[in-house]
Structure 1
């Protein structure tokens, strides 16, 4: 069973060991009004581990880290930005008497050669596995040579010497390691095995180049095992831990790329099971791993561990990084009330920030750094609500673009889907999406004919949920793929755009119609054009009074029925806000007869448009919602039958009764 635990890469508190100047005399405001020393680190492990980054300033040794370090789990899976590379890089930087680590990363320059590599006579996956067998074997060999010289003296040196001679003969001994493409060329031709007493390639036998290459690697691995046996290392010498990362650099979502990763997983598993004192841990993006299909994948389940994060973990991470950068042991209250504003749009600011991330360390680090940068650029000594709002909008633009780039290999059509959601509400029904998406999906199928079979409304919804763009309503809660590792069901009908992407898409309201604005009524009521009639009081028998009463009574009934209308909760909030504002404005018209015609016309036009928009957005699918929206439209028709137009002497009827 796959194990999921909280993430890692959390900073120790109270020390600014990354080089920031400690800020003494903390009083709740940054010293000298400077935000420059507040820093949350770089948003990728490869640079954050370098000098000046925060990854070296401290590290929380969670279960994920310990499982990888002790090789209890050999496959660490996580989404991009989830912290899996932080585990890998931290392990690679640590050396102890218990474990020696070696980082293995393929170079992007060799990507095409790796994907195209094949050997006559064996399947593609087996050919790719041979690459990894050779790469991992040479790393083991180099470790044996160095370890023997350092810890064993002359003991066991004969078999180790043959390993050293093999490395030298194949150009693997120096500091300059060969590129993967060079390794591939070597495997295509022939390895030099004279150090092991094999002088001519044909002596190994085999009817094809693939089998001959496999036989050569068998010779190499057999001699490595013998050298390990001859050294007979005691337990205190520790283990060798091979760490394989950045596979996404050579993966392109095609069959050859899949074969490359499958070959790696099989080779890594063989290393761990075959070489005494040696383990191999692979760090792999979840979107890559989940796409792989091969017969013995079920054998890896016991080796899997997924890196997941929670809101509390991410907030602990940010607090610890703030402490490390400032050199002051600030507490949670100070960070989230004195450096950041305590609340944003009525939500505690920490929760608000996390809600705008895909629950990944990279996201929260990126957003918090952006808040700091904007506040400093605005000349503030702390982050204000305005700074945070500006940061969230800019961050949303970046993340929408980042999402398309992140999944470019998997879903190259992704950015072509964004216009379907732009300037609409963030609550999306399946029916409305399929209707709005029909024409764009046909156009995308023309641009990407090889993807056409998957560009259907239902398939695209599955994709958008899988990558975190959409959430789904389940049991009165909206869940996202990073919260629940499940799939969309055909019965799911209501989806929500993730808060991270709403500002960039101008989809910050549940419904696509802007909220009712009655300011215009007040402005028109006060104009001189109505001055001659403003002091005329309304009588119950007046048609104006009756029409206004129709509006007010109708809106009250709509409010009373709203909870039973079957609309999504967020849509009900928007509808309620609009109706209450309409009711408030309508009641003010009793005292302004001159503005009644304009005011009622404004209200009924809005309600008519609003009802149409709710229907277009797919909220009229069910019988209750359909009846409710129809009653809203019925109200506008009743009002139109009582509307009048202004004339020079006052207001006369222009509508008909029938």
Structure 2
């Protein structure tokens, strides 16, 4: 028989201040168990204790999931952990193998994430330079045009020179390139990574920049606005060097954030300068691809550009660019796959990828969101979030991040109430995003959105819009004089859509990029902007 006595969390014989006789009496009065009873007791205690530990661990995992989303889900791909969260879509392989060179899409559709991913590849035979034009003084580029060519071809030579210079720069740090060639390239093109694109371009186009190229011409002076044949000669020399000495490595030159000078586009001179510069870049890339396509030369310049900017570029050969173009479009199913991936990665880097339903239920409670005047209508949490977005990854990341931020710290999953309460914060975010996008086309976009706020209706007619528009124009708060142009731009960016006569039907361009604004139908405001525009 075994005696089992507990006293104050210690063995009763070890309780301080208890005499020997008292201890013995206490021990004699404790319940006694045979071996089988004791084993059963231990098993029962262990079972209950283990259940508590499992519950604590499960809740801890979910709490860690919310903390991970709060702290590490970012809107800007440059500040997020790409190794953990980059979602590999099929289009990426086509870019990496050189089959596609133009990546076109709305803000928030993943252009920068792809460019960051390619730039982060670390392999012995892969080299990349990411050329970000954020805060770049575009006037310096406009001044470097080749006056020997008519518009819009006057910038092709400049872009080819920039691309070739960066390829030579990458070759200078490639151990597979002949050492004597590398040394000569290093003398002219410092192999250090780019910290300031403006600094490198200014250096390579300055009057005192010179290089000796393998017996081809001695000292070469690189000056702004030099003679036409000098520009062409420089490009020809670099092209010959690359063709003669490049190895089988892959060289990526990634052009991103080219929208920096996308402003005041309604001014003809500004619009022509900007679109001609971009047209020259597309043509330069097209030309370079045709030159190095043969012989296994892996020279891969890639342009990442917003679709609304791409749409204003005009050129007789633009349809030919479709052969090298990828448009980043997201469907409901693709968004679900992306979210399943991100939630799985948020749980842990080594976590097996879950299907959408499993991943979603780890993060959200299985509840419906109730709506309507009497709260008698309902929809799933995903559907409620989706209808406020433009079906862009960034929109969902922002909405879910807001929900995580608004979830009480003692909650392990996001409730329907939290999702509904986060709608206003998301609406304000979406409005800011759209203002940033449209400002280059309509500088007084904020005043235009105020018109919709004053109408204060989900659906309105062209006449209602015109009435307030004319008043604001008389007040001087709106510079643009054409309301039709304004409405077309609002439709282009899916701030408004059409309301057909069929019930519960709407037409938005983000769902159908070929859709055109129909002035014979009412206009409807996108659901995600209701709160930000004070529409009830």
Normalising by structure 2, we get a TM-score of 0.76
- 2:368 equivalent in structure 1: 343
Is this contact kept in 2: 1:314–1:354, CA < 8 A? no
CA apart distance, 1:119: 4.7
Which structure 2 residues correspond to residues 501-520 of structure 1 after superposition, within 5 A?
501-508=529-536
Question: Which residue of 493, 496, 499 maps to 1:470?
Answer: 496
Task: List per-residue Cα deviations over 1:284-311 (Å, max 9, x = no partner).
Answer: 1111111111232222121111001112
Q: Determine the structure 1 residue equivalent to 2:160.
A: 133
The answer as to 2:434 corresponding to 1:408 is no
Aligned to 1:315: 336
User: 2:100 is matched with which residue?
Assistant: 73
Hey, what's the Cα distance between the residues in 1 that align with 2:195 and 2:466?
53
Question: Which residue does 2:485 correspond to in 1?
Answer: 459
Q: Does 1:216 align with 2:234?
A: yes
Once the two structures are superposed, residues 534-559 of structure 1 have per-residue CA deviations (whole angstroms, 9 ceiling, x without a partner) of xxxxxxxxxxxxxxxxxxxxxxxxxx
Q: Distance in 2 between matches of 1:31 and 1:193?
A: 59
d(CA) in 2 for partners of 1:332, 1:219: 54
CA 1:263–1:184 in structure 2 vs 1: closer, same or farther (change >3 Å)?
farther
Equivalent residues of 2:128, 2:252 under 8 A apart: yes
Q: Could you tell me which of 250, 273, 294 is aligned with 2:315?
A: 294
Q: 1:242 aligns with which of 253, 266, 290?
A: 253
Range with greater deviation from structure 2 (189-198 or 418-427): 189-198
Decide whether the 8 Å contact of 1:166 with 1:192 is kept in 2.
Answer: no
- Written as runs of structure 1 = structure 2, the 5 A alignment for 1:322-333 is 322-327=343-348, 332-333=356-357
Aligned to 1:47: 79
Q: Where do 5+ consecutive residues of structure 2 fail to align?
A: 1-52, 371-377
Aligned residues: 455
Give the aligned partner of residue 369 of structure 1.
401
Q: Which moved more, 1:93-102 or 1:430-439?
A: 93-102
Partner of residue 34, structure 2? none
Equivalence map 1:604-615=2 (5 Å)? none
Q: Deviations over 1:202-255 (max 9, x none)?
A: 9x9xx9623322222222222322223xxxx4xxx4432332222123443432
Question: Aligned to 1:192, what secondary structure does the other structure show?
Answer: coil
Q: Deviations over 1:152-178 (max 9, x none)?
A: 6x5xx66x35xx425524x54445666
Mapped pair 1:110 → 2:137:
yes
Secondary structure of 2:137's counterpart equals: helix
Is the CA contact 2:500–2:506 (under 8 Å) kept in the aligned structure 1? yes
In the TM superposition, what is the alpha-carbon distance from 1:186 to its structure 2 partner? 4.4
Residue in 2 aligned with 1:168? 187
Distance 1:200 1:337, change over 3 A: closer
1-side partners of 2:77 and 2:63: how far apart? Answer: 30
Structure 1: 5+ residue stretches without partners:
1-22, 509-658
SS of residue paired to 1:367: helix
Instruction: Indicate if the aligned counterparts of 2:427 and 2:529 stay in contact, CA closer than 8 A.
Output: yes
- Matches of 2:437 and 2:125, distance apart in 1: 37
Give the counterpart of 2:471 among 419, 428, 439.
439
Cα deviation 1:332-367 (Å, max 9, x = unaligned): 445555743422231111111111111111111011
Q: Is it true that 1:480 corresponds to 2:516 in the alignment?
A: no
